[in-house]
Structure formats: structure tokens, C-alpha cells
Amino acid sequence: MPRLPELIVALDVQTRAEAERLVRLLRPAVRFFKVGPVLFTACGPDAVRIVHDHGGQVFLDLKFFDIPRTVEEAVRQAARLGVTMLTVHTLGGVEMMGRAVRAAHTSPSPPRLIGVTLPTHMEEAEMRAAGIEGRPHEAVVRLARLAHRAGLHGVVCAAPEVAAVKETCGPEFLTVVPGIRSQPVQDDDQARTGDPSSAAGAGADYLVLGRPVLQAQDPLGAVRGVLGALR
Ligand code: C5P
């Protein structure tokens, strides 16, 4: 029986006040919060401090994708902020990811590095248009293998890809899974989705919840509902 995944709530909101309200509200049930490009662009490192001030941990999801030296320096800065986990893009290649790993290790408490593979809104037609061969799970496994070789701790992938990633890279290689849906959300752009129980059953380590919590009338109730479904 795989261990239960931990929930990460994506703070996909526009202002510091909204982020703080959510962290305060959800903190009794959630330890891990994701700070992505929207909130980080709006608030900068303050977004990270909000979570830390409430005793939470930060998954900094800025998907660094650049030349190796730039990514190395960006990871060094992120590590200084005390984030627990952060993303780099696997398409940057082994050299870029390797430099990210080395930069993380210069920190007294190195963040875990997670590789972004194929964003969960992409399906086969869009992949082909972008020149990416094969079916989504094949591309994800290919990129996960690269990430594993470069020394990353895990990857972001969709629920249906978790089992193949674990089989290829081993049970300790982390899978962080967005696109979690128990029911439809408004204006959904995600394509490769899965429900909490099937993601957990496949061995997911972390489930990322954005709109299912943010759009709920009762966000804390929505989180508790997912936790209940996992037990
Ligand atoms: O609202 P929703 O539950 O779709 O939120 C998913 C979160 O996970 C968003 O913050 C999105 O940026 C992020 N994410 C994703 N797919 C990836 C990587 C990150 O959906 N491959």
C-alpha cells in the first residue's frame, strides 16, 4: 500500500492579502503551499514569507528554464529564501539540471528540486505541433529519466503518468501531481487530469490543488473532502 500523498495548495491569487487569507484559513489542514508565477510576480519574495510566517512550507513553482549559469544563480537565490521545493524545466537538459542540483547543495538546507515535464494542459495534438514526439506518458517518462540522471528529486507529472515514472525512476523518485479533479471546475484548461484516489493509488507523493480549493465556497471544507477521500 503506497503512503498517502501530501496536499499542496496552489496560491494562484493576485494579491498578498488574498494569499494571506488563504494560508491563515487552510493552515490547520495544509502544510505545503505552492507559490507560482502569478503571486511571485505580484508580491516577490514576500509571497514566500507569508507562508513561512504561518509555519508552512513553500513549493516555489517558477519553472526555471534558461542557460545553465542563469538557472544555477536563480536556484541559489531561491534556496536563500528557504523554500522547501522548487521547479526547474527538464527541457533545459542534464547540464542545466545538474547545475541546479549543485546550486541547491550550497544551501545549509537544500531545497528539493523537481523537474517540470509536460504541462498537464498538453495532449498529443499540441505536443506534435510543438515537435514533441510520442504520447504524453512516453514524453513524460523520457524527461523524467533525464531528470533522474541529472540528480533531481522528482518530477511534476499527471496522475495517469505516475506509475510509469515510478517504474522507470524508482519508488523514491518524487511525483508531484497537478490537474487533480473530483468534479469539474470553471474554465478548466487542464487535459491530463485524475481524481485524488487514483493519483494516490498510483503512488503520487504530492497532489497539487488549485481551483478545486480556490473556487470552492468553503476552501477548508474542500481540502478536508480530499483528505477524507484519501483515507
Ligand atoms: O487550478 P489547478 O488545480 O489546475 O492548478 C494546478 C496548479 O499546478 C497551477 O498552479 C499550475 O500552474 C500548476 N501546474 C500544472 N501543471 C504542471 C505544472 C504546474 O497545472 N505541469
Ligand 1 atom nearest residue 158's Cα: 21
Distance CA(63)–CA(44), nearest Å, equals 15
User: CA–CA separation, 192 vs 173, rounded Å?
Assistant: 21
Instruction: Compute the distance from residue 12 Cα to the ligand 1 centre, in Å.
Output: 9
Lowest mean pLDDT of 73-77, 86-90, 184-188, 220-224, name the range.
184-188
Model confidence at 105: pLDDT above 60? yes
**Whole-number pLDDT of residue 136:** 86
**% the chain with pLDDT above 70:** 99
Instruction: List phi, psi (to 5°) of 184.
Output: -65, 150
The pLDDT, as a whole number, for residue 2 is 60
- Whether 166 is catalytic is no
Report CA 95 to chain centroid distance, whole Å: 22
Which residue among 9, 47, 63, 152 is the active-site one?
63
pTM for the structure as a whole: 0.95
Q: Whose CA is nearest to atom 2 of ligand 1?
A: 210
pLDDT (mean) for 215-227 = 96
- Given a cut of 60, is residue 32 above it in pLDDT? yes
Instruction: Say what the pLDDT of residue 102 is.
Output: 96
Average of per-residue pLDDT across 6-13: 98
Closest CA to 118 of 153, 143, 83, 82: 143
CA atoms of 217 and 51, how far apart (whole Å) = 22
Name all residues whose Cβ lies below 6 A of ligand 1.
Answer: 10, 12, 36, 61, 116, 119-120, 156, 178-179, 190, 208-212
The reported pLDDT for the residue numbered 143 is 96
Q: What is the predicted pLDDT for the residue at 188? A: 84
- Decide if pLDDT at 33 tops 70: yes
The mean pLDDT of 144-157, rounded to a whole number, is 98
Find residue 227's DSSP bridge partners: none
pLDDT grade, residue 1 (50/70/90)?
A: low
Q: What is the pLDDT of residue 212?
A: 94
DSSP 180: B
Residue 98 banded pLDDT, cuts 50, 70, 90: very high
Position 99 confidence tier, pLDDT thresholds 50, 70, 90 = very high
